[in-house]
Amino acid sequence: MRHNILIVDDEKLIRQGLKARLEYLGIDVDEIFEASNGMEALEVVKNHIVDIAVTDIRMPDMDGLTLIQEMKKIQKNIQFVVLSGYAEFSYAEKAIRLDVKAYLLKPVSSEELKNTFQRLYADMKNHMKIQNAVRMKRQLDREKQEYLLEKEMNTFLSTTEERIMSVDLLCQLSGIPVENYNRDRIQMYFCMIRINKESYENKNFRQVDYELIRFSIKNVFYELESECKKFIVNSLSDHNYLYALFLGKDEKSIREEIERIFLKMRSVLENKMDIYLTFGVSRSTAQMRGRAVQEAKEALNQRIIYGNSNIYFHEDIVIWNEQEFPRTQVYLLKQYMEKSEADKIQELLHEIFSEELVKKYGSSYLRIMWVRILNMIFQLCDGKENKNISAEELLMNLNLPDYMQSISEIRQKISEILMSCMKTDGMAEVSARSKIQMAVRYIHKHYSENITILDLAERYEMSPNYFSSIFKQEIGISAVNFITDVRMKKAQELLSQSDNSVVDIAKKVGYEDSQYFFRVFKKNVGMTPLQYREENRN
């Protein structure tokens, strides 16, 4: 067994002499590093794997025992040997507390040095055997647990009778003692995972490779750290499916973990293996009944309407199906991202995250829409070269709506993320000029509403003075005069082509006060609304 060794001493001759003696004694090493002080030693440990560190006690910038404490923070498995000319009990006592394996006094004999390293190597070999045995036991325990869960889950799906998963199994899975089950009531989500057809349509896998695909999915699933308990097993009846169970005490945090795990799995499996998944998730339940399986199926069936490579929660179906608007807008958002139509993205975000919809559906609407948009961003942006935003950064924004103070703040943050992804493809950032063009289109669409310069400036994230200045520079007239012109042209059209009263027309073009409309019209057109109607109809 060969190891990396680090020698730390402020005297070069001692370092070189010790290195030569180790080679002479036939101590098997991969590499020997040297450091003349504590700071150099820490740099070595930060950049290389070190198995054994031999350090002097007295050094200029940092004593050996302090160095040991700092090195342990970086690599906790290093074995330490203290080499010192000071036979003081206080040093030896502290070295023992730091779990130093040997305390050698200078000058150390070759026999003592050789015995020390042989003992260290033997201890490390035994430690590795113990670690391997522990790792093997954990693997066997997990396989046993997977077998029990696989059997139970597949039984749930194969019977038409209403069943409840045994308390013993739930306690075993969640780690809760049976006697504490009622007191520590767990919440759980059941998830059906479907392997999408396109996973078999690339150079990596064929239809016969489904076991290899499922093995890869399970490995990634278990590699992801999670604050809730999670398990995944194969379907025994359909090789395109896996079943997962997520357990914890807090319904909200479990759901957030499922969303995070789904997005992270997408990032890893799609980009590195061309494996594509769709999740269908049941409602939260305190008892694992057959109903949870049915709910997961119903949630997964949403893919038929809204597409694969997404996550569908059963509790979202009512909101998502009741309102045609949100899902249509997410689809449009994806199209605008693909075409780099930044101005349309800005306008669409104002529609998606409107105060009316948020008030109607509450915080659940925000959560649903944000996870769908985040999923869309993963699909379009993650895995591209020279990207400005990584999968990890996207996942850090998973709970973004929970920390924002207002709807406008949410829109602004999402806009920043989308623009960053667009710049990944070499697209230019939205300029002040393009924002003015967006404002012009907005005025043409919303002229009948109460439009103020303050509102427009806030909408396009500019100061009112800067907005007014750029608007006049770009369009040739002030924003106030432009709004008036748009309204007057529409009023002229209504006066000549409809029988609506002047009062009604005033309201249609954004004036609640008909007298004020009358004065503005006469000032801009040169005649009263009735005179204009009479002249243009004749």
**Contact (CB, 8 A) for 485 and 477:** yes
Output the pLDDT for position 425. 41
The torsion angles phi and psi of 227, rounded to 5 degrees, stand at -85, -10
Q: What is the pLDDT of residues 154-212, one digit of tens each?
A: 777 776 566 777 667 677 666 667 666 665 677 889 999 999 988 887 767 777 788 88
pLDDT band (50, 70, 90) for residue 229: confident
CA 302 to mean position of chain CA atoms: 23
Instruction: Please classify residue 40 by burial: count the beta carbons closer than 10 Å to its beta carbon, then call 0-12 exposed, 13-18 middle and 19+ buried.
Output: middle
Query: For residues 102 and 84, what is the distance between their CA atoms, to the nearest angstrom?
Result: 11
pLDDT of the residue at 439: 85
pLDDT of residue 397: 66
Instruction: Return the percentage of the chain with pLDDT > 70, whole number.
Output: 81
* Model confidence at 280: pLDDT above 60: yes
Residue 364, pLDDT score: 66
pLDDT higher than 80, residue 336: no
> Is the pLDDT reported for residue 513 higher than 80?
yes
- Rounded to whole angstroms, the maximal C-alpha distance in the chain is 120
Note the pLDDT of residue 325: 47
In this prediction, what percent of the chain has a pLDDT beyond 90? Answer: 8
Q: Which residues contact 409 (CB under 8 A, 6 or more apart)?
A: none
User: What is the average per-residue pLDDT within 54-76?
Assistant: 84
Cα 34 to Cα 249: distance, rounded to the nearest angstrom: 51
The closest alpha carbon to 316, from 343, 332, 295, belongs to 295
For residue 222, what pLDDT is reported?
A: 87
What is residue 492's predicted lDDT score, i.e. its pLDDT? Answer: 92
DSSP run (H or E) holding 303: helix 303-306
The answer, yes or no, to whether the previous bond of 464 is cis (omega within 30 of 0) is: no
Dihedral (C-alpha) 423, 424, 426, 428: value to the nearest 10 degrees? 0
Residues 177, 178, 179: CA angle, nearest 5 degrees: 90
**Interval 282-293 mean pLDDT:** 83
Contact status, residue 260 vs residue 246, Cβ threshold 8 Å: no
End-to-end CA distance of the chain: 105
* pLDDT higher than threshold 70 for residue 404: no
Burial of 248 (0-12, 13-18, 19+ CB in 10 A): buried
Tens digit of each residue's pLDDT (9 = 90 or more) over 232-279:
888 888 888 999 989 888 888 898 899 889 988 988 888 788 899 999
Classify 189 as helix, strand or coil: strand
pLDDT score at 316? 80
pLDDT score, position 281: 93
Distance CA 16, CA 34 (A): 9
Q: What is the arithmetic mean of pLDDT over 287-313?
A: 82
For residue 305, give the 3-state DSSP assignment: helix
Q: In the prediction, which pLDDT does 174 show?
A: 61
Strand partners, 32: 5
In this prediction, residues 50-75 reach a mean pLDDT of 85
> Which residue has tokens 């139970």?
152
For residue 482, pLDDT beyond 90: yes
